[in-house]
Amino acid sequence: MDFEKYCRENCVERKGTGTLKWDSLEEIFGDADLLPMWVADMEIRCPQSVIDAMTKRVQHGVFGYGKVEDSYYEAFFAWQKKHHNMDIAKENVRFATGVVGSLYAAVRAYTKEEESVITCSPVYYPFYDAVLNSGRKLVTVELDNNDGYYTLDYDKFEKEIAENDVKLFILCSPHNPVCRVWTEEELVKMFDICRKHGVLVVSDEIHQDFVFGDNKFVSSSNLKDGAYKDMLILLNSGSKTFNLAGLIHSHVIIYDEKLMETYDKYIQSIGSPEANVMGLVGMEAAYRGGEEWFEGVKALICHNYDYMKGEFAKALPKIVVTPLEGTYLSWIDLRAYIDGTKVEEFVQKKCRLACDVGEWFSYTGHGFIRINLATDTKYIRAAVESLIKNLKELNGLD
């Protein structure tokens, strides 16, 4: 694949288009003149099928109240069945404005104030916000870092659950930011511990389609032939898969009737809106016509990862780049070359990069950065070259 040609034809300039990634740098990082390598959002035009479908809908000219057509369910269910062997029925699905909002809803629907909610860190930082901003007690268990490969200590996990009387576990699968695609065996161990202690599980599976190499994503709904469906609230969306986050559209999948009743009761209490019309149109078109586009994006992500890892290995071999099992976000340990507490300032002031820094994901995260790989290779190249140049200067290396 000619990746330079691919980027020329598919990557677009986003600065000045009202985008969070490029146009909020001053507000978030205090400097508008940085190269944004943060937030899980792409520079790649979305599938043509989406553009065509939304253009047609816009040209209709009326944007009144909508409904979810059978064709949407058919497209969504077909994608999930083909790619993940998931069986879903209409009655299992509710719509939401995003996975983060659904995290808040789940925490508030299934726990009471001051009750404990557990997650495994480092993890996507809105997990913490959903718990703390809801007045719940946050319990974290640190994943074990084995030279960049992360695993869960099940004894520690169970100990924290038992000692804190945990009611809810928020699972990230695949796990952002440490790139793990949990194996079926690992997931079963987590769920068995939760079952033993009466803990419900919210499974954020938004990165389900970004799995690389020989790794295989297994949805929590499929574990042991669906044995844990009665304790599961599953969250997903095509927003990451097809770069459609701005459509504000996601799914909440609940198989158990009582759990669904509880969820519905909470949503009714806050008057949450139904699915938005353009989100339905765009997402259905993506599920129907976006597969070839998606394969191209995955190829670019692999290319960017291989380039970055190769350049670091040659120039600064002690940098630890976490193996990319899943997601399109690379987790990078710079501590061999810089004091971890100085990384944020160094990356911004010297390297001129806007990255998600490790302490956003964990109190032990100092020294790490997260870089978005789903972008034009020229930006990956610029970021890597800047990191290498400035780290070499800092360490007096040629």
174: cis peptide before it, omega within 30°? yes
Straight-line distance from the first to the last Cα atom of the chain, in angstroms, rounded to the nearest whole number: 34
- The CA dihedral of 206, 261, 287, 275, to the nearest 10 degrees, is -100
- In this prediction, the residues of the chain whose per-residue pLDDT falls under 50 are none
| Domain range list for the chain | 3-39+291-395, 62-289
DSSP result, 102-164: HHHHHHHHH--TT-EEEEEES--THHHHHHHTTTPEEEEEEPEEETTEEE--HHHHHHHHHHH
The tokens for 84 are 């993940």
> pLDDT tens-digit profile of 134-145?
999 999 999 999
The count of other CB atoms within 10 Å of the CB of residue 268 is 9
For residue 394, what are its two tokens?
A: 């800092």
Using one digit for the tens of pLDDT, what is the confidence trace for 264-274? 999 999 997 78
Class of the domain covering 62-289: alpha beta
Q: Are 251 and 119 in contact (CB under 8 A)?
A: no
Domain 3-39+291-395, CATH homologous superfamily name and number: Aspartate Aminotransferase, domain 1 (3.90.1150.10)
Rama region for 337: left / alpha / beta (φ>0; ψ in -120 to 50; rest): alpha
Task: For residue 60, give both structure tokens.
Answer: 């209709």
CB count, 10 Å around CB of 152?
19
pLDDT of residue 94: 97
Q: How many CB atoms lie within 10 A of CB 302?
A: 17
Q: What confidence score (pLDDT) does residue 398 get?
A: 80
A 10 A CB-CB count for 339 gives 12
pLDDT (0 to 100) of residue 272: 79
In the chain, the amino acid numbered 53 is A
Q: Can 3-39+291-395 and 62-289 be said to share one CATH topology?
A: no
Report the pLDDT value the prediction gives residue 106, as an integer from 0 to 100. 99
116 beta partners: 137, 166
The DSSP symbol for 211 reads B
Question: Tens of pLDDT along 19-74?
Answer: 999 999 999 999 999 999 999 999 999 999 999 999 999 999 999 999 999 999 99
Question: What's phi and psi for 42, nearest 5 deg?
Answer: -105, 160
Q: What is the pLDDT of residue 273?
A: 74
> How far is residue 39's CA from residue 307's CA, in Å, rounded to a whole number?
20
